[in-house]
Amino acid sequence: MGKTATGIRLFNTLTRQKEEFVPIEFGKVGMYTCGPTVYDYAHIGNFRAFVFEDLLKRWLEYRGFKVVQVMNLTDIDDKTIKGSQKQSKPLREYTDFFANAFFEDIRALKITPATIYPRATDHIPEMVKLIKALLENGYAYKSEDNSIYYAISKFPGYGKLSHIKPAELKAGARVRQDEYAKEEAQDFALWKAYTDEDGNVFWDTELGKGRPGWHIECSAMSMKYLGETFDIHCGGVDNIFPHHENEIAQSEAATGKPFVLYWMHNEHLLVEGKKMAKRLGNFYTLRDLLQKGLDPLAIRYLLLSTHYRQQFNFTFEGLEAAKGAIERLANLQRRLQDANGKTDEEKLSELTQRVQTCFGAAMDDDLNVSVALASLFDFVREINYMLDANALSHEEAQKVYQTISEFDKVLGVIPKPKEESLPPEAQILIQKREEARKAKDWKTADAAREELKAMGIILEDTAQGIRWKREKT
Ligand SMILES: [Zn+2]
């Protein structure tokens, strides 16, 4: 193992403390992130996890690591079977639809794609092999109905992630469904023998006719692509038990090796101060929010701007503030293009050093993004002052532009200029003003400018031509 200090500290759920991050292989990170169960559109609580994982990956890449990220698609479990039966569709057709919707959603949120998205139904042989290994070494047993269960009493480390106490368990009590509460910690299903409820969803394997349990899917797919021991495993706190606890039990019992070095979990999301629930009318998929005309980058900014281990309250007011923050960054990037003054070099070098040190130190400290963002916006304010005082040359302004672009490789929130389009009526007004100016019709030109201003769009005549920006919010 390469024991090279990285300076990055991550909170490890396994030890309940921040630890120096030391990857197994120098310069490389293997990272598994539990993906969506493709039985419905993902909701913003799911996206909080995916955005956090994206931020973590981008930060590791910013620090020079090559990250291999595996995100599975759960396309076979209790929920997908029920969903497909409700719609009378073949399972694959039903899950394909929601898998595609998921990929559209992550594109909208600028989540960088994982290296690979293995689907559970494409990995049944790997799961069968793993279950066979557990049967052979005595950690699994067949029940009367031919299902195969994991015997949690056989694994001394059971409970080490979630801190449940195995002493409270009723030996041999079994749970068949994929999801259950801590109080119901019992032997769980690795392989579910076919029942009529499964309809036409089954595999004929050496283990009999049936289908895998949910937990074995992630053990099989993560170890296939990342090895028997890998660096980081992420998910939401609700995955700690039973899902991740069971993943550890299955994988470590089968291999005799530690499964994962760093477990990282993001906290829950509330909406307008309440737990998201359909009956409370505060349950939103990403699509619901986009249909309201909300900006996906503002949603992204809002989701990543609270530290991942803090409970996060999603509000529409917060979304407005997020939009304002993004506009401040985008407006500065536009202003920098037009800088044409004389640089106060001492000041600039001090500001640049400060933001790079503070942003870096904060992110290295278990992704302390609120502190990192505060230092970035201090920098933005100071650079705006320098631009006001014409104290940046064109060349130095380009360097500042680059500095901010580097930070945005981590944040992914500044829209590319072409993406930030003006409403058509504003484009018509700008054109009208141009024509009026050419015709030296100053009255019409000024009127058009005023109308634009009323829409919150400010025009600036620069040496490079006309530029526009949104009014500061
Ligand atoms: Zn998983």
Cα of 214 from ligand 1 centre, angstroms: 8
Cα of 302 from ligand 1 centre, angstroms: 25
Q: Which helix (H) or strand (E) holds 174?
A: strand 174-175
Cα of 189 from ligand 1 centre, angstroms: 15
Residues near 243 by beta carbon (within 8 Å), at least 6 away in sequence:
34, 214, 215, 218, 235
Q: Which of 91-105, 201-215, 370-384, 429-443 has the lowest mean pLDDT?
A: 429-443
Taking the C-alpha atoms of residue 77 and residue 81, their distance in angstroms, rounded to an integer, is 6
Strand partners, 230: 260
pLDDT in the model for residue 278: 85
Averaged pLDDT score across all residues of the chain? 93
Cα of 112 from ligand 1 centre, angstroms: 19
Cα of 197 from ligand 1 centre, angstroms: 24
pLDDT in the model for residue 44: 95
Query: 368-381: buried (b, 16+ CB within 10 Å) or exposed (e) per residue?
Result: bbeebbebbeebbe
Sign of CA dihedral 392, 396, 399, 401: positive
What percent of the chain is predicted at pLDDT more than 70?
Answer: 96
Cα of 317 from ligand 1 centre, angstroms: 33
pLDDT of 232 strictly over 70 = yes
Cα of 244 from ligand 1 centre, angstroms: 7
Give 234 or 472, the one with higher predicted confidence: 234
Cα of 127 from ligand 1 centre, angstroms: 13
The CB density around residue 215, as the number of other CB atoms within 10 Å, is 24
pLDDT in the model for residue 117: 97
Give 127 or 1, the one with higher predicted confidence: 127
The CB density around residue 400, as the number of other CB atoms within 10 Å, is 25
Cα of 50 from ligand 1 centre, angstroms: 13
Cα–Cα nearest to 459, from 431, 417, 418: 431
Cα of 52 from ligand 1 centre, angstroms: 16
Cα of 369 from ligand 1 centre, angstroms: 25
Cα of 321 from ligand 1 centre, angstroms: 33
pLDDT digits (tens, 9 = 90+) for 256-283: 999 999 999 999 999 999 999 888 889 9
Cα of 232 from ligand 1 centre, angstroms: 13
Q: Residue 207 to residues 127, 195, 255, 473: CA-CA distances in angstroms?
A: 10, 15, 20, 62
Cα of 195 from ligand 1 centre, angstroms: 24
The CB density around residue 367, as the number of other CB atoms within 10 Å, is 23
Q: Which long-range contacts (CB under 8 A, 24 or more apart) does 291-299 make?
A: 294/319, 295/323, 295/326, 296/108, 296/109, 296/110, 297/110, 297/326, 297/413, 297/414, 297/415, 298/322, 298/323, 298/326, 299/44, 299/47, 299/109
pLDDT in the model for residue 173: 82
Mean pLDDT across the stretch 237-247? 96
Cα of 136 from ligand 1 centre, angstroms: 24
Which tokens go with 9?
């500290």
pLDDT digits (tens, 9 = 90+) for 424-453: 888 888 888 988 988 999 999 999 999 999
Between strands 66-71 and 28-33, the pairing is parallel
pLDDT in the model for residue 166: 64
Query: 137-154: buried (b, 16+ CB within 10 Å) or exposed (e) per residue?
Result: eebbbeeeeebbbbbbeb
Phi-psi sector, 108: left (phi>0), alpha (psi -120 to 50), beta: alpha
Cα–Cα nearest to 191, from 222, 219, 224, 217: 217
Cα–Cα nearest to 119, from 70, 56, 61: 70
Cα of 266 from ligand 1 centre, angstroms: 14
Cα of 180 from ligand 1 centre, angstroms: 15
Query: 178-214: buried (b, 16+ CB within 10 Å) or exposed (e) per residue?
Result: beeeeeebbbbbbbbbbeeebeebebebebbebbbbb
Cα of 30 from ligand 1 centre, angstroms: 15
Mean pLDDT across the stretch 185-195? 94
Cα of 295 from ligand 1 centre, angstroms: 30
- Are residues 376 and 363 in contact, defined by beta-carbon separation less than 8 angstroms? no
Which tokens go with 167?
């002493």
Say what the pTM is: 0.88
The CB density around residue 236, as the number of other CB atoms within 10 Å, is 20
Cα of 228 from ligand 1 centre, angstroms: 15
Cα of 78 from ligand 1 centre, angstroms: 14
pLDDT of 4 strictly over 90 = no
Q: Which of 2-11, 285-294, 326-335, 368-377 has the lowest mean pLDDT?
A: 2-11
pLDDT digits (tens, 9 = 90+) for 102-143: 999 999 999 999 999 999 999 999 999 999 999 999 999 999
DSSP 276: -
Cα of 403 from ligand 1 centre, angstroms: 37
Cα of 240 from ligand 1 centre, angstroms: 10
Secondary structure (DSSP) of 293-355? T--HHHHHHHHHSS-TTS-EEE-HHHHHHHHHHHHHHHHHHHHHHT--S---HHHHHHHHHHH
Cα of 110 from ligand 1 centre, angstroms: 22
2: pLDDT confidence band, cut at 50, 70 and 90? very low
pLDDT in the model for residue 200: 93
Taking the C-alpha atoms of residue 190 and residue 147, their distance in angstroms, rounded to an integer, is 8
Q: Which amino acid makes up residue 161?
A: L
Cα of 249 from ligand 1 centre, angstroms: 13
Reduced 3-state DSSP string for 201-240: CCEEECCEEEEECHHHHHHHHHHHHHCCCEEEEEEEHHHH
Taking the C-alpha atoms of residue 175 and residue 141, their distance in angstroms, rounded to an integer, is 14
Cα of 243 from ligand 1 centre, angstroms: 7
- Are residues 429 and 417 in contact, defined by beta-carbon separation less than 8 angstroms? no
SS3 assignment, position 107: helix
Q: Residue 465 to residues 139, 337, 462, 468: CA-CA distances in angstroms?
A: 72, 11, 5, 10
Q: What are the φ and ψ backbone dihedral angles of 313, each rounded to 5 degrees?
A: -105, 110
pLDDT in the model for residue 253: 98
